[in-house]
Structure 1
Amino acid sequence: MTFIHRLPLHIVSSILDQLDTIAELGVAIRSHRIFYNSFKNNAQTVCRSIISSQIPPDLFPYANALLESNVFDPSNHDAVKDLLLRLESRIKNGSKSFERFPVTAYAALSRDLAAIEILTEDLVSEALPLFMSSFEADHASGASQQEVFRLNRAFMRYQIMCNLLCIPYDVGSRLVGEDITRYFFHPFSPWVNEQILCVYRYLERKVAKAYDDVAAHDVDWGKVPVEWDYDANVCPMIQWNFNGSP
């Protein structure tokens, strides 16, 4: 019997807890039976530990809401309102506990968090030089912790918005008008809400460039070119391309 087979399952679970993403967890549990057995016995604990280590500082309430938004029916307006009210409450009380969710929901959140980390770093690398040259202002070589927090929060809220409020009409009716303002935007200050627009504009540049460079030359996509200066409200292709950050 090899050494790893003699380890108690809770010790093996502690090893799995140290993985960076749920994607890495999938590789690990397929690599050896002992990891698979340990995961089966402690799936919720392992997933929550990995997710908790991925969540940026002070953003647990937003990550929790993002996790819930991956499993909610966005056409259930009462459920959407309750989720957004819980987000507001968790921000105020600093709650840091997950309810029980399917492993697929944890995997979706892990992908979202990994994407947000990459996007935040890239946005900082673009924005800082522009800020310094445009305003002739001094700034540290990297973004401050508070600046990174604001960008992470904006990307998370953008993804929550996409999951809950930007659904195709054939899926069901979405929350509209005053309800969106009251439950999604009103609990936050105008400048916090405007940060969502900032990350949207960043994503617009990135998606437009990728679409024009790659997708427009594909056999299928080449037949449906996108005019990026159209109003997104009346262009379903623009809406489709910006429906989520991962």
Structure 2
Amino acid sequence: MQAASDVHFDFAVLLTILTILTGIGWALDALWLARKRRGVIGDAAKAPWLIDFSRSFFPVILAVLVLRSFVAEPFRIPSGSMIPTLLVGDFILVNKFSYGLRDPVFHQEFLKGDRPERGDIVVFRWPRDPSVDFIKRIVGLPGDTVAYRDKVLYINGEALAQTPDGAYTAPKLPGGTAYRMRESMPGHEHHIIVNPDEPPQDFEFTVPEGEYFAMGDNRDGSFDSRGWGTVSERLLVGKAFFIWMSWDGSIGRPNFSRIGTRIR
């Protein structure tokens, strides 16, 4: 589903505007105003406050823009759709150059990168509203036929092996308990949870070219491609790779066991 516009005002756009404005002030001072002040004594030798602000903050704002837009961007996990891999309150880093570099305003790719692989956990702009970021696991690549039968995922007719790996207690789930499973796909293995109290959501779908099928690891508690369709390449933000902070709201302190964890 194509959005009406991919351009929306967010922190990246604000950073870009501030970088341009302070950059103009910094350049004016470096090329012209600083020379005019040379030899002037007293208050007249001081730069106007706006120029002084630009000189001080342009390098900092530029560095933040470059790091956030082209290297790594922090995100906070707001929902339980990726349980048990990611928990509510996890703060993660997303690799911004994994899938190519894009400008922070119009999101046009100017440097080609790799394409997502099955099993990647990806942040992307939601197809129905590109101002909203989602995070899910890629399970279907362009051309794949993805099917879900009796809570087992099939890729091109092959069932992904599921190995029981104990119970997963979650108070907000009906019954309070789900089953944790180790799911295996070629070259990748990860955990999912399934809730026996929720009915199956069986489907079969062929992924169009240039699109990806994304699902949450909390298979019965995720609003994903089953509900709103596939993710276009142009909406990719980056690949999640690291938990740098985790806040456990139930106990009101950091969950130190998750800090520094690599995301798989």
Same fold, judged at TM 0.5 (above): no
TM range (shorter): under 0.3
Name the one with the larger strand percent.
2
What is the TM-score with the length of structure 1 in the denominator?
0.25
Q: Which has the higher helix share?
A: 1
Greater Rg, structure 1 or structure 2?
A: 2
